Structure 1
Amino acid sequence: MTLTKAIRFYETGTPDVLRYEDVEVGEPSVGEVRIRHVAVGLNYADTYFRNGTYKIPMPNGMGVEASGVVEQVGEGVTNVQVGDRVTYTGFINTLGAYSEETLVPANALIKLPEGISCETAAAMTMRGLTSAYLIRRIYDFKAGDSILLHAAAGGVGLIVAQWAKLLGLTVIGTTSSEEKAAIARAHGCDHVINYSHENVAERVRELTGGVGVSVVFDSVGKDTFMSSLDSLKRRGLLVCVGTASGAIPPFDPVLLAMKGSLFVTRPALADYIADPVEKQALANELFDHVSSGRIKIEINQRYKLEDAVQAHRDLEARKTIGSSIFVI
């Protein structure tokens, strides 16, 4: 057994439930790999595990995304070997990423190409693969299509905006401050709406000549649901990708007909990377854009693992911009 430092929690609640403590890491069993982490991703989804939105057994580890070096492989593992630099993201099967070392199913791992550092990987694997499926799998975008992107200065938002511009889309972003608006513009947003003092749906209509956008990517949830629907063109698509402001309340589907025969989907990354071939294809496209510099990954917050409580506080207070990581 190897002792390592990790974040664990024994009950759901505020960031204060997170504990920095010693844990034992055993030998990898069949199909498992032991990873020495170099960097760990901080994602808003982590708060859903911590506060009980996502139900998991207690006690448990925290975090589902990290990158590092393969230290040991279990029986039957053929896709990676000791010394490989790898990254991973997942859901229940990868909980425990907030740690110096951990055991991970080998089939969750993605080998890193030379041009991608471990820090960059930890900042973009979950956000980047999420952006990849949103842009490349959810809707058949054509050059000239328009999108509304909530939280445009967030980790996913900055990647989606850049990728959208590569496809020739018009990107309307929303942010909560002028500082974040400037960052969103610098990463591809053609227009930015400050939702703190502007009516989002009205402004979208103005910017689109009254037509509305083809797709809305909404990671906010309850507070923006209605304005997102009101920003769509006839037969447009609302993609609900998060609930930062709370869960969307139940609604009568007739509402979608009344607002223009709209479509709503609530996708999950797990279903778009379940097929190893599709996951690798999305990863390859993402890595290619990042390695070439066409998509830039902004790491604007770096924390020590023992500062996980403060990291969660900053995340929920919307103090973060772009991607955040823990450096091991």
Structure 2
Amino acid sequence: MDFKGSSIPSSMKKLVVTKLSQNFRDAVALQTVPVPTPGDGDLLVRNRFVGINASDINYSAGRYDPSVKPPFDAGFEGIGEVVGLGLSASARYTIGDTVAYFADGAFAEYKVIPMIKTVSVPAVKPEFLTLLLSGATAYIAMKRLGDLVKGEKVLVTAAAGGTGQFAVQFAKQAGCHVVGTCSSNEKAGFLKTIGCDRPINYTSEDLSTTLRKEYPQGLDVVYESIGGRMFEMAVNNLANKGRLIVIGFISAYQTASGVPTVKGGTLPMKLLQKSASVRGFFLPHFLSDYKEAMGSMMQMFAKGKLVCEVDCGDMAPEGRFMGLESVFRAVDYMYAGKNVGKVVVEVTPPSLDSKL
């Protein structure tokens, strides 16, 4: 077992779900605990950045696995430096290497992670963090469920968000005409910079009216993450043989049930009339595609062919998201719809010898 000597403290902070609630602030507590020790095939990672996801609230509410009871650790993804590792892990990694990972319990200053769950990255940049969940969800969902054909019309809801930004770009790479919904002119401007053909700011334009007028033949593919009225609007505007991909329904996550209110009685008829389909996408069910997706996206980013927009809260009322304490603010910021790109928290400052 190898460690980075005295630079590793004896204790650390982490966020723990202490009770089940859709209110993240009520469910989660900041605790001080001993720094864990890596096992034979594990890495001890000093987290530099962690990602905020809409599903953090589903997790704190116990919706993913009702059999798991508090306390349990919060957070899904992190990126940082290897500061300790087991003997088997040393065959692949060394102290100081930079890695990203997708695993439970990421909201911590230090995290023990099995080597097989990590991805080597060339530097500790938050842009790489955006690919782990947000990018991979868009890449695999569009590839496996979208069946994109050049010239098709694709709608992306919450298009300027963490995963929406990638769905826009992958649809454009496939030669599609892309429509993106957003909630501000700033976001609409960002969408234009990443190739969105028709950003629609639904706070100043009526979305349903605009879609019916400008796309009377309907939409071939919809990448949907909001739910409720947005889902119903998407169904109503599908083209013949249209494909609606549901990757989430954030509008319901903060409610007691966590389930969106949808008028489902007419859904079978609407799908039948158009030979259309609705399919759900949950990333853990597609992990066989994960390695290829990450490799492809890393290459695109390295070649300047993929924008990975990061929002660290620099424009937030209380400033940049720094330290685990700011995860609470970051979750609120995302649910208020303020972010442009992926919301990321800087957990710890860079070490003197880190790869920047």
TM-score, length basis structure 2:
0.83
Write the letter of the residue equivalent to 1:73.
L
**Cα offset, 1:78, TM superposition:** 6.9
Any idea what the Cα deviations from partners look like across 1:291-319, whole Å, max 9, x if unmatched?
Answer: 11111111122412211221111111112
Partners in 1 of 2:272 and 2:78 — Cα distance?
Answer: 44
Partners in 2 of 1:78 and 1:237 — Cα distance?
Answer: 46
The 1:79–1:315 alpha-carbon spacing in structure 2 relative to 1, beyond 3 Å, is: farther
Report what 2:130 is aligned to. Answer: 123
Write the letter of the residue equivalent to 2:119.
I
The 1:204–1:176 alpha-carbon spacing in structure 2 relative to 1, beyond 3 Å, is: same
Report what 2:303 is aligned to. Answer: 292
2:12 corresponds to 1:10: no
Partners in 2 of 1:80 and 1:206 — Cα distance?
Answer: 56
Give 2:213's match in structure 1, choosing from 206, 211, 216. Answer: 206
Contact 2:159/2:168 (8 A) holds in 1: yes
Contact 1:184/1:192 (8 A) holds in 2: yes
Give 1:228's match in structure 2, choosing from 234, 243, 246. Answer: 234
Report what 2:70 is aligned to. Answer: 58
Write the letter of the residue equivalent to 1:184.
L
**Cα offset, 1:64, TM superposition:** 0.6
**Cα offset, 1:145, TM superposition:** 1.3
Report what 1:22 is aligned to. Answer: 32
Q: How does 1:53-202 map to 2 (within 5 A)?
A: 53-55=63-65, 56-74=68-86, 76-77=88-89, 80-83=92-95, 84-89=97-102, 94-112=103-121, 114=122, 117-202=124-209
Give the superposed CA RMSD.
Answer: 2.1
**Cα offset, 1:30, TM superposition:** 4.6
Report what 2:333 is aligned to. Answer: 314
Give 1:267's match in structure 2, choosing from 273, 278, 281. Answer: 281
Contact 2:182/2:199 (8 A) holds in 1: yes
Partners in 2 of 1:189 and 1:51 — Cα distance?
Answer: 34
**Cα offset, 1:157, TM superposition:** 1.2
Partners in 2 of 1:243 and 1:23 — Cα distance?
Answer: 34
Contact 2:180/2:191 (8 A) holds in 1: yes
Partners in 2 of 1:229 and 1:271 — Cα distance?
Answer: 24
Q: Which runs of 5+ in 2 are unaligned?
A: 1-8, 253-258, 314-320, 349-356
Write the letter of the residue equivalent to 1:218.
E
1:71 match: secondary structure = strand
**Cα offset, 1:79, TM superposition:** 7.1
Deviates more, 1:189-198 or 1:125-134: 189-198
The 1:70–1:110 alpha-carbon spacing in structure 2 relative to 1, beyond 3 Å, is: same
Write the letter of the residue equivalent to 2:146.
Y
2:239 match: secondary structure = strand
Partners in 1 of 2:196 and 2:45 — Cα distance?
Answer: 37
Partners in 2 of 1:147 and 1:79 — Cα distance?
Answer: 45
Any idea what the Cα deviations from partners look like across 1:181-210, whole Å, max 9, x if unmatched?
Answer: 2222222210122223544344223223x2
**Cα offset, 1:259, TM superposition:** 4.3
TM-score, length basis structure 1:
0.89
Q: Which runs of 4 or more aligned residues in structure 1 lie more than 4 Å from their structure 2 counterparts after TM superposition?
A: none
**Cα offset, 1:248, TM superposition:** 3.7
Deviates more, 1:316-325 or 1:143-152: 316-325
Contact 1:15/1:310 (8 A) holds in 2: no
Partners in 1 of 2:273 and 2:247 — Cα distance?
Answer: 21
**Cα offset, 1:180, TM superposition:** 1.7
**Cα offset, 1:155, TM superposition:** 1.3
The 1:270–1:78 alpha-carbon spacing in structure 2 relative to 1, beyond 3 Å, is: farther
Report what 2:354 is aligned to. Answer: none
Percent identical across equivalent pairs? Answer: 25
Deviates more, 1:64-73 or 1:283-292: 64-73
Partners in 2 of 1:324 and 1:146 — Cα distance?
Answer: 28
Aligned residues: 318
Write the letter of the residue equivalent to 1:87.
A
Report what 2:3 is aligned to. Answer: none
Write the letter of the residue equivalent to 2:31.
E
